[in-house]
Structure 1
Amino acid sequence: MSELPNFEAISKILEAAEPIEMVITPFRAYVLVAHLQLALRHPGNTGASADVARDMAQRLQARLGQIHPLLSETIEQGWHPEFDVTHEEYEELFWEGDRDA
C-alpha cells in the first residue's frame, strides 16, 4: 500500500456509524486497560487519539472499580511508573492458564 488512506472518508464513515456494543469479561477489560496505559506512556502518543484512549481506559477503570475497589486501585497504580512490574512478575502473579472466560 503506497498511498495514504482517505482519512476524510474514514472519518465520515465512523461519524455516521451506529455505536458498537460489546461484552467483555472483567479480566479482559483489566488487561486492555493495562495495554492502553502502556501505549499512552509513549512520548509520541499525544493529541486527540491519545485523549480518546485515556478516556476509554478511565471509563473501564471506573467500571471495574464498581466490581471491586481493588481493581480500580491497582489500575490507578498503572498510571504511575513507580508501581511498574516486569513481564515475569505479571506472568507469575496473574497468568495461570487460559483466561478466555
Structure 2
Amino acid sequence: MNEDEVIEELTAKYANDFRQLSNEPEIGLNISPLMAWQIISQLQLALRHPQNTGIISEQTRHFVKSLADEIPMNDSLRELFEMGWNPEHDHVIEPSQQNPKLEIRETHNAVAIYGVDEYKSEVERPFAEFSRPQTWGDKEQWHYEFFRLEWVRDGYKYINNCHCYTDIKNPECDYAILFAQCVATILYPGRPPQLCGREYLDEDDFWLNEWGEMPPYYYPDQEEDWFK
C-alpha cells in the first residue's frame, strides 16, 4: 500500500474529523528563527526518505520552503539549507559502524538474601550471601528471581546473570529493588551456571522427597572453560 492509498483509507475513516480541521481557523505560531531552522532540519531529514512521497510530502516540502523564506539567512546558511535537499551530502553509515562486533564477557552469580528468623518472622536487618542456599529446592521457603545486567565498555559487552533467592515473601520494596545492589555486585569469573539456577544440585546440597523430583548432581569438569 503506497502513501496515497494510506491517505485515502485514513481520509475515509476520519473524513469528518479532517473536514472539521479544515474548517478551523489558522494556527498562529511564534517561534525564533533558530527554532524554525531546527524544525526545517528535521523535516528535511524526513522528506529525504526514499519512500516518503505523495501529497503529504509535497505539502510538507512547500511548508518547509515557505518557512525558510521567513528566516533571515546569509549566504552560508542558504547554502547549508540547499545541502539538505542534496543526496550527495548524505552520510552513509556502514553496518560495521552501526553494530560493532563486541567481545562478550559473561558471568553467572547466585545470591541469597536471608531475612526470616527461625520463628518465621522478618528480621530487622536481612543479610546477603553470594551463593545459593543449600535448601534452595524448598520452594515454600525460597522465592527465586532471575535478573540479567548488560553493559558495553571499551569494546566489550559485559553480561551478569544473577540468580537470586530469598526467604522474604512479597517485600514492600519489590524483589527488583531488594536485589538491586546484589545484581550490580559482580563476582568474576562467577560460578558455573548449573550451580546458580535450579536445574542441578551441588555436592553440598541436599534434597527432601517432599520438594518433588530431585534434580541431578552437577560435577564441574576441571578443564571446562565455563567462565569465559
Q: Do they fold alike, i.e. is TM over 0.5?
A: yes
**Is 2:85 the partner of 1:79?**
yes
Unaligned residue ranges in structure 1 (runs of 5+): 87-101
- Paired residues, what number? 82
Among the aligned pairs, what percent are the same residue? 33
Distance 2:86 2:55 in 1: 21
Alignment of 1:19-98 (within 5 A): 19-64=26-71, 66-84=72-90
Distance 2:90 2:38 in 1: 14
- Aligned residue type for 1:28: M
Q: Could you report, residue by residue, the CA deviation over 1:17-71 in whole angstroms, capped at 9, with x for unpaired residues?
A: 000010111111111111111101112211111011101111122222x343433
- Aligned residue type for 1:24: I
Distance 2:77 2:23 in 1: 35
TM-align CA RMSD: 2.2
- Aligned residue type for 2:83: Q
> Do the aligned partners of residues 75 and 53 (structure 1) sit closer, same or farther apart at CA in structure 2, a change above 3 Å counting?
same
Structure 2 counterpart SS, 1:72:
helix
Q: Displacement, 1:11?
A: 1.5
Q: Displacement, 1:77?
A: 1.0
Distance 1:58 1:79 in 2: 11
Moved over 4 A (4+): none
